Structure 1
Amino acid sequence: MGWKGVPRTAASAVLAGAAVLVLAAVPPAGAGPRTAAAAVAVAVRQDVSPQPPAPRLPRDFRGRGKWIVRDLDITVPFTWEGKDGDSQMTAGGPQYPIWFTNLIYRGTLYTLTYKWPGLDEHPCSRIPGFGLEDLNRGLANARFVGPETLRGTRPQRRVNHWRAGVVFPELPPGNHPRLPLALGDIYVDEHDRGTFWQVLQFGVQNLYDPELDEWLVMDTFEHRPGTVTLPRRCEPPR
């Protein structure tokens, strides 16, 4: 859920996570980050398929992978876990140049960045009134790009590619000034819309990154309960 750096609206937070929280930064097809090019290469399949159901983050899951910031040439370990509808992303750790966690916890969206190049402030930001169902309602409006194959995996993963965006202001079709605030590219297993393999995040929710884009790339994704822990710094005052 890379929602670091600015106050977030529920709409922009949807991109993460996939943003999950969710629902992750995606270059053009085949142009992966320098540090993990093979892991994020994408090939578009030519077969024409009917539109599948939209992505939906499950209540219980756990997975491991990489968080990739291409323009900073930084790749760190990444975990994404869900339990009973709460979920948590954690990238990096104390020994890495990047370390942050994003959570959906008991109906509130939290972001806490412990380490980021050039960052001196480390508050825990909160957006109340945002839970798993809010995220999934946002994902239900994603647009189907098409079936694709992720190269560099063993076996190669066949996925459905979806795109979600936040544009301001919301105006009808026509010649109106518009500002794209955020974009998410979401790659889910072709046989299971609840298995997330890659997510692109691009936009204001990635304000700490000079190019505003970040990737999450999963190596594993299991449908069994994970562990979700709210950091002490994010706990409400007693």
Structure 2
Amino acid sequence: MAWIRTRRTLGSAAAGGLFALAVIAPGPAAAPALPRTAHADDSSSSAREPRPPQLPADFSGTGRYIVRDLGIDVPFTWQGRDGNSQMIAGGPEYPIWFTNLIYENTLYTLTYRWPNIPLFPPRACSKVPGFFNRQIFNDKLKTARFVGPEILQGENDRHVDHWRVGVVGGFSVPGEVFRFPIALGDIYVDQRDPSQWWQVLQFGLQNLFDPELDEWFTMTTFDHRPGQVTLPDRCPPPTS
């Protein structure tokens, strides 16, 4: 989500998610096809003022979490309630299983299963230090750059706006001190409603377990009904 993710660390087995810019299958596997994009041929699109992505306070969505180079394609849910939100990819019967949360001004990630990564004894839930909430996430999204109007081609063609947002480490003056990219996200939201998310590609240090350093999620459904957000028992409470 996930969120534009800085939340996965070298020492944790945390998996993908866009939280805070926030899968490795045994043996070779065929890469699943991703929805293709095509530039929208719509003269009216140039007249409108595109609005950057924003994460709503309440929503429910289902889709797929994809690591294309490894052939990983598992169920994915993303839900929000009262400003808290939770991503869940895979499950106990899938090659990956993890959850990422923004919960009570705190960012969490917990990996239950990750191929070729030993998770026994179970890894602790990672509580990212510092204050983080939906407002901070949306403020960062306001700095996203508009790439252009596109069409996600699939069973249902979706007219979307393509945005890119990134996080860079180091000083702001190139050439003086080494700078390095921490995270990059390509976000595709509905042209009529930028709080309706349809697809995200996330690339960077947060994807260290993927050889190509990129992970996708694509949404099949996304609406503004409040979802269910549950902090796992293994995660420390926000105030601890």
Q: What TM-score do you get using the length of structure 1 for normalisation?
A: 0.84
Cα–Cα, structure 1 residues 100 and 68, in superposed 2: closer, same or farther, change >3 Å?
same
Letter of the aligned partner of 1:43 in structure 2?
A
CA distance in 1, matches of 2:199, 2:20: 12
Matched, 1:120 2:115: no
CA distance in 2, matches of 1:176, 1:45: 40
- Residue 178 of structure 1 and its aligned partner are, at CA, apart by 2.6
Identity of aligned residues (%): 55
Equivalent pair of 2:125/2:236 in contact (CA under 8 Å): no
Letter of the aligned partner of 1:205 in structure 2?
Q
CA distance in 2, matches of 1:21, 1:179: 17
Q: Which residue of 1 aligns with 2:164?
A: 163
Question: Would you identify which runs of 4 or more consecutive aligned residues in structure 1 move more than 2 Å?
Answer: 1-5, 19-23, 45-48, 172-178, 235-238
Structure 2 counterpart of 1:148, from 144, 147, 150: 150
- Residue 153 of structure 1 and its aligned partner are, at CA, apart by 3.1
CA distance in 1, matches of 2:179, 2:236: 37
CA distance in 2, matches of 1:82, 1:180: 29
Cα–Cα, structure 1 residues 87 and 109, in superposed 2: closer, same or farther, change >3 Å?
same
Cα–Cα, structure 1 residues 174 and 182, in superposed 2: closer, same or farther, change >3 Å?
same
> 1:33-88 CA distances to partner (integer Å, 9 max, x unpaired)?
93133xx2111225562541111100000010000011110100000000000000
SS at match of 2:209: coil
CA distance in 1, matches of 2:166, 2:141: 10
Q: Which residue of 2 aligns with 1:6?
A: 9
- Aligned-residue RMSD, C-alpha: 2.4
Equivalent pair of 1:20/1:87 in contact (CA under 8 Å): no
- Residue 179 of structure 1 and its aligned partner are, at CA, apart by 1.3
Cα–Cα, structure 1 residues 170 and 51, in superposed 2: closer, same or farther, change >3 Å?
farther
Equivalent pair of 2:21/2:183 in contact (CA under 8 Å): no
Structure 1 unaligned regions, length at least 5: 9-15, 24-32
Question: Mean Cα displacement is larger for which, 161-170 or 143-152?
Answer: 161-170
Structure 2 counterpart of 1:36, from 33, 36, 39: 33
SS at match of 2:187: strand
SS at match of 1:162: strand
Correspondence list, 1:177-192, <5 A: 177-192=178-193
- Residue 180 of structure 1 and its aligned partner are, at CA, apart by 1.4
CA distance in 2, matches of 1:211, 1:34: 13
Q: What TM-score do you get using the length of structure 2 for normalisation?
A: 0.83
Letter of the aligned partner of 2:114 in structure 1?
W
For the pair shown, which has the larger CA radius of gyration, 1 or 2? 2
Structure 2 unaligned regions, length at least 5: 23-29
